[in-house]
Amino acid sequence: MWRRGFSSSSTATTQALKEKKWDALVIGGGHNGLTAAAYLARGGLSVAVLERRHVIGGAAVTEEIIPGFKFSRCSYLQSLLRPSIIRELELKRHGLKFLKPTATSFTPCIDGRYLLMGHDDHHNYLEISKFSKRDADAYLRYENQLYKFYKLMDFLLDSRTPETLRWGSSFADGLRDKLEKSMFWARCLRHIFALGQKDMVDFMDLLLSPTSKVLNKWFESDVLKAALAADATIGSMRVSRFYVLLAMGLTRVLNACCRHVEGGMGAISLAISNAASEAGASIVTNAEVSQLMIGDSSAIEGVLLADGTRVHSSAVLSNATPYKTFLELAPQGVLPEDFVRSIKYSDYKSGTTKINVAVDKLPQFNCCRSNNSEVGPQHTATIQIGCESMEGIELACRDAWNGLPSNRPIMEMTIPSSLDKTISPPGKHVIGLFTQYTPHKPSDGSWDNPTYRESYAQRCFSLIDEYAPGFSSSVIGYDMLTPPDLEREFGLTGGNIFHGAMGLDSLFLMRPAKGWSGYRTPVRGLYLCGSGAHPGGGVMGAPGRNAARIVLDDFKKHP
């Protein structure tokens, strides 16, 4: 159904693109690009979304790779999509349906123990007590401290950055800009004052400290520390600092519900596209942009498609990565040299390989001591394989820094078909494996070598066998996306799922480059609306929403 959702661009569609000058064009039909298009169309602008692939969704996509099995090929859980977007675009009316798991995280151990976390505080207390009574007492205090910071982070995620106004603004525009920035900092200070000095110091400590340091302060059980630390490693090539959890909204670490979506993650993109289409946006697939058209006055004029079609517009919003946008699509010589250097030398490293697996039965974990083929709470949770010790995570990371795929990868396993009966045949299941760490260019082989690829997949399956015997024999088929595959198939520079590292030097006013965090770019009329812009990666939609609001403001000022 997802391949049929949006058909290839017809001659009539291409002709329609050429016959008018659009108010705005959006490069890339990922969830952020579609979100931007929906808000722009609702704001009265004529908008067209140009998607390179045959299907919309970008990394939030559902595809039937193996007959009968529909995979969320890249992103795999919904925990970050901004509530304001769900509400304002009426996504539930447009078909979005969430499926709540009965447990939140499941960490099996080789020694037969396990940690199964859920929605109930008392249940979590008993689970953690199996490993440490002291940690069970500390866990609620730990969560409460994080909740104190949630309102501040929530405010920052939904806000546009107070960036300096560009493009030769008028005196009136300058005054308006100063007023808006003053309002932002006033609201920010209110959140800070509400925390108080002690909590603000604790907040800075969390923001700047390595994950291991933070968790060692709170807990003694290695299993609990590793289970929590696993969330800070997502999409990174290191055992990260705690700010990764803070930057992603705290939702995962706070056990807020990481939900499956009926129909897979592509259902999110489809619901947003339905909202955009209803508002009047045009969405065109198989429409690859090869170059930005920039006039003599360094202002955007439209885009050139790979087939030679010229599409004219007053504004262009790029949902591509900063590297793709500014170093591959922009003509040489139109951007400031310091800006180009900043984008070129940003950190695009990735250690992520996603494996989507079709199986003929549910995995049965030794630690649960059950041969029941029915779905249990552990099957609906995020299952953390190889995450039972901090040392294990650090060793896996060290392998990748030495140029090797991890000998014992750490994995997040999800089984969306445990809740969603629409994505697999009866009795069979879809399993997603988010695996780390895999260098983009391994020193001991190449991802282009089928034998090398197969050896890594089998390494992951064999590791799962240690916890759930017989898993390898249940595999019907699989689809594997290494960093080069993610780059080639989905346009993710370096295979980085966040469009660039989520480091302190590349967040907020520094994203994607110092001085250019406000979605505008050095080219007048060109905007960045993807995960490479504030507040960063994850299926949250905030960059698309914020960028659209900037564009609408600019159209009001300069029709």
Q: Is the pLDDT of residue 169 over 90?
A: no
| Predicted pLDDT of residue 368 | 86
Identity (one letter) of the amino acid at 194? A
Q: Is the pLDDT of residue 241 over 60?
A: no
Q: Is the pLDDT of residue 7 over 80?
A: no
Cα–Cα distance between 434 and 388 in angstroms, integer? Answer: 16
- Pick the residue with more confidence: 229 or 336? 336
% of the chain surpassing 70 pLDDT: 92
Q: Within 13 Å of residue 50, how many CA atoms lie on the same side as its CB?
A: 30
Query: Considering only 8-22, 280-294, 301-315, 414-428, which range has the smallest mean pLDDT?
Result: 8-22
- Pick the residue with more confidence: 4 or 138? 138
| Predicted pLDDT of residue 11 | 46
Q: What pLDDT, in 10s, does the model give residues 83-113?
A: 999 999 999 999 999 999 999 999 999 999 9
Per-chain mean pLDDT for the chain: 90
Q: Is the pLDDT of residue 74 over 50?
A: yes
| Predicted pLDDT of residue 235 | 64
| Predicted pLDDT of residue 147 | 83
Cα–Cα distance between 194 and 256 in angstroms, integer? Answer: 23
Q: Is the pLDDT of residue 351 over 80?
A: yes
Sketch the domain layout of the chain as residue ranges.
9-96+262-347+497-557
> What does the pLDDT average to over 199-217?
86
In 334-407, alpha helices (H): 337-344, 377-380, 390-401
As a whole number of angstroms, the longest Cα–Cα distance in the chain is: 73
At residue 238 the predicted structure's pLDDT band, cuts being 50, 70 and 90, is low
* Contact between residue 402 and residue 225 where contact means Cβ atoms under 8 Å apart: no
Q: Is the pLDDT of residue 470 over 70?
A: yes
What does DSSP assign to residue 537? S
- CATH architecture of the domain formed by 9-96+262-347+497-557: 3-Layer(bba) Sandwich (3.50)
Q: Is the pLDDT of residue 417 over 90?
A: yes
